[in-house]
Amino acid sequence: MGLLKGIDPLLSADLLFILRSMGHGDSLCICDCNFPAFEVSGKTTSQRLVHVGGADLPQVVNAVCSVMPLDFFIEDPALHMAPQAGVSMPPLGTAVIADAQAAVSQHCPGMQIKGVERFEFYERARKCFAVVQTLERRPYGNVILTKGVVGPDGKDLKP
């Protein structure tokens, strides 16, 4: 495996291929190590599952957002898994989502990751382009990011 200048080393050739293959409006599920990634990925558009070893959710979100524009033309381009009704978010879940939010904000200031109920999140993940599984062990460490457009200036295109 060779490294490239200016490209986060967490972005493997397989992951870069997926990101380049995605079009505007396609979504990517980035999940924790307890997520049913194999089952879910089998129902995605590409049926691809990439494992990113040695990295947690915020590290992978940061790496992905360093090269993939997010969709500023839709209401919720960044989603996270939230507990179902009657279940509280555990403190570690709150922490991992806050860390993922910081990673998104670094590349897309002002963009918020919105919560989606756990079982609805699984359904949305099955409609993604692909799944990227991290070694994140904190609960609810799962996000879906929707790809936007790179504008003429090389930055995320905004309305």
Question: Among 26, 32, 71, 156, which one carries the catalytic annotation?
Answer: 71
Q: SS3 letters for the chain? A: CCCCCCCCCCCCHHHHHHHHHCCCCCEEEEECCCCCHHHHHCCCCCCEEEECCCCCHHHHHHHHHCCCCECCCCCCCEEEEECCCCCCCCHHHHHHHHHHHHHHHHHCCCCCCEEEEHHHHHHHHHCCCEEEECCCCCCCCCEEEEECCECCCCCECCC
Per the annotation, the verdict on 122 as an active-site residue is: yes
Please give the Cα distance from 146 to 16 (Å, whole number).
15
State the catalytic residue, choosing from 99, 107, 122, 140.
122
> Known catalytic residue: 51?
no
List residues with catalytic annotation. Answer: 24, 71, 122
